[in-house]
A and B are shown apart, each in its own frame.
Chain A
């Protein structure tokens, strides 16, 4: 049998490698000279727990540096699971600068609850983003009144953010359709000014969510929330019902 798989055009090999964990994709470089650099143009770079379990994670920062340095072409998706990351955050800042120049559309950053990542303002240079998920990060820099003009989905978990910053961020994402806001700190009055919002999941303790804003958002159909005195189970109810209940309580 002849070697058929190696005779596939590079763009098809690229599609196949994209479905592999990054580690397996990089390992394919040793198959033959044809395969040596095939991995380096895949547009999705995922550094997750599956590909990088403990204890191989100690050099994760260096590995990401190396992969970004050797990569060529656009990077549409970048995911970094830094739950054990104890290296310098300036390294992460540098990745964001690099990624913002490569047409990044999807960004997922997770860190550790005991060591939050202070998001740099360079994050806002990634204006091609359509999907952004941040966990264990903090928006503590002065509010910059910036958002993401193309962003459709925003997932914020265990985030420190002020009321002012939250309101400014959301109102500067005009195309936002889905917002997940879970276990947040520093924010208690949620002002969501997002005319295209279709899904909203809020999970956490907050004093006030401005219902007047929502009466104009007719397409909003889901709300999951946990009020201070409810149990731990997450409630998912139709928004109209939730707001009716909220108004009755208020």
Chain B
């Protein structure tokens, strides 16, 4: 029994250092970092002794992502996780620039669960909105000509009918 506990403790002590693009250092458990498929591969081939540079991800984003990975490595009940995910997304989507960077980073780091979560939240922002509302929210510059717009409206008339 005592041996097993020691082994578990040893597992817990396996820490890895990740370094963001702006040189911020994060020391996390290996199982947390493993949530990223990319970091997992790096750890598998290079070990965890030296710090791992995460060059394309800035400190504030990496911090938020690691917060997600840590929570998701605990194996808590589904309802608890769903509630936590919702709160995490509510906070993240308030700042669209941050939210966009979070999507890019989780995709780059290959954290599929997080990519899916962000995609669903993004989709929620687009759902049941008029094109003009979407353009305003995301500051999308409409570079289509009037003729092109008319062509799209005629071709996909069914998609522009109100539900």
Hey, which bits of chain A sit against chain B, CB under 8 A?
1-9, 12, 15-21, 23-24, 26-33, 35-36, 52-53, 56, 59, 63, 66
* Measured CA separation A23–B107 after assembly (Å): 26
Could you say which residues of chain B place their CB within 8 Å of the CB of A20? 123, 126-127
Q: Are B142 and A2 in contact (CB under 8 A)?
A: no
Expressed in whole angstroms, the minimum distance between the Cβ of A94 and any Cβ of chain B is 19
* Measured CA separation A18–B10 after assembly (Å): 42
* Measured CA separation A191–B161 after assembly (Å): 48
Q: Identify 11 new A-B residue pairs, CB closer than 8 A, beyond the known A5-B138, A18-B119.
A: A3-B140, A4-B97, A8-B100, A8-B104, A17-B123, A21-B127, A26-B156, A26-B159, A27-B131, A31-B135, A36-B144
Q: Are B158 and A4 in contact (CB under 8 A)?
A: no
How many chain B residues sit at the interface, stated as a range, is 35 or more
Least CB separation from A19: chain B residue: B123
Could you say which residues of chain A place their CB within 8 Å of the CB of B141? 3, 32
B30-50 interface mask toward A, CB cutoff 8 Å, 1 = contact, 0 = none? 000000000000000000000
Expressed in whole angstroms, the minimum distance between the Cβ of A62 and any Cβ of chain B is 9
* Measured CA separation A9–B103 after assembly (Å): 11
Expressed in whole angstroms, the minimum distance between the Cβ of A68 and any Cβ of chain B is 14
* Measured CA separation A8–B153 after assembly (Å): 25
Q: Which of B111-150 contact A (CB under 8 A)?
A: 115-116, 119-120, 122-123, 126-128, 131, 134-135, 138-144, 148-149
B4 at the interface (CB under 8 A from A): no
B163 at the interface (CB under 8 A from A): yes
Candidates B104, B123, B142; contact of A16 at CB < 8 Å = B123
Could you say which residues of chain B place their CB within 8 Å of the CB of A28? 126, 131, 134
Hey, which bits of chain B sit against chain A, CB under 8 A?
96-97, 100, 103-104, 107, 115-116, 119-120, 122-123, 126-128, 131, 134-135, 138-144, 148-149, 152-153, 155-156, 158-161, 163
Could you say which residues of chain A place their CB within 8 Å of the CB of B122? 5, 16, 19
Expressed in whole angstroms, the minimum distance between the Cβ of A16 and any Cβ of chain B is 5
Q: Are A19 and B139 in contact (CB under 8 A)?
A: no
Q: Are A4 and B100 in contact (CB under 8 A)?
A: yes
Could you say which residues of chain A place their CB within 8 Å of the CB of B126? 16, 20, 24, 28
Given A20-B123, A23-B159, A24-B127, is A32 in contact with B142 using a C-beta cutoff of 8 Å?
Answer: yes
Candidates B104, B149, B160; contact of A12 at CB < 8 Å = B104
* Measured CA separation A36–B90 after assembly (Å): 29
Could you say which residues of chain A place their CB within 8 Å of the CB of B138? 3-6
Which 4 A-B residue pairings sit nearest by Cβ, starting from the closest? A19-B123, A4-B100, A26-B159, A5-B138
Could you say which residues of chain A place their CB within 8 Å of the CB of B155? 66
Given A1-B139, A8-B100, A8-B104, is A33 in contact with B144 using a C-beta cutoff of 8 Å?
Answer: yes
Could you say which residues of chain B place their CB within 8 Å of the CB of A52? 158
Could you say which residues of chain A place their CB within 8 Å of the CB of B123? 16-17, 19-20
Interface centre among B115, B116, B120, B163 (most CB of A within 10 A): B163
Expressed in whole angstroms, the minimum distance between the Cβ of A229 and any Cβ of chain B is 39
Q: Are B96 and A30 in contact (CB under 8 A)?
A: no
List 22 A-B pairs, Cβ < 8 Å: A3-B138, A4-B97, A4-B138, A5-B138, A5-B140, A9-B107, A16-B122, A18-B119, A19-B122, A19-B123, A20-B126, A23-B158, A24-B126, A24-B128, A27-B156, A27-B160, A29-B152, A30-B149, A32-B141, A32-B142, A33-B143, A36-B148
Could you say which residues of chain B place their CB within 8 Å of the CB of A33? 143-144, 148
* Measured CA separation A116–B141 after assembly (Å): 48
Given A2-B139, A23-B159, A53-B163, is A30 in contact with B103 using a C-beta cutoff of 8 Å?
Answer: no
Expressed in whole angstroms, the minimum distance between the Cβ of A58 and any Cβ of chain B is 10
